[in-house]
Structure 1
């Protein structure tokens, strides 16, 4: 049992780590989130190892992130003046990545999770619904609301050409 789990962790950790980062927006929190999810997964390894353990870990990460978020809920403060924007960097890709990361952090955890699972993990709406334990309609609603919100808070991302990179 321990050997198959170890192999799973070795082979799937990079991908799961990226997902954890996209859920949290912070490298250290992502490491903690993945470790917590893997610890919970190990306890149920006999039961889930024959199915889709990666989906199980994603679901655990999602629920753990929501739990952490609820404990440390930070309210957004409105300011009379918008914060000054950082000077533009010559590395356009870096600026876009930072802009996207900032915009994603402003979404609700569930909206962010739906976008990560749909567009980064490339799961279907039905697969996302299964991972999150909700209906396909709920996934569609959160996805629609998240994309609308992203267009509002980061209009600079709307017309950016999408480049697919190898995972």
Structure 2
């Protein structure tokens, strides 16, 4: 066991220590604590960082590094126990409402684009009738016109927005 005092303020010394104790520290994490190899490497980096940052005098470098690796491995498993992994069959447990979400967003965005092509009067007519749910009589009253003309306006504006929508979504070869 190495009982010599090793000053660790110089980066070159830490590099030598890293090479010297790397296998031992990985063995402690992977074999004793069963930390996965990729995570053990990260833990070892944290241990050496802590070693470089410590201002306390280290009497036995090897013992300090091994103890720090043990503590880091325990902390790793405490953190892992707080998180729950997703089941392998997560796709079977997904929210059924979200299945058509992408299509819904695509249609909504396309409709918004189509509505921007309409004249403001048509856009307002469709907004009042379909979004606010107003009748043709209410639309006529709001737009200061006859109810018959409001019905015709609703019909023609809806027809126009359909044409625009289909021209936007048409597959071009």
TM range (shorter): 0.3 to 0.5
More helix by share: 2
Q: Compare relative contact order (CA 8 Å, sep 6+) and give the higher one, 1 or 2.
A: 1
Q: Normalization by structure 1: what TM-score?
A: 0.38
Which entry has the higher C-alpha Rg, 1 or 2? 2
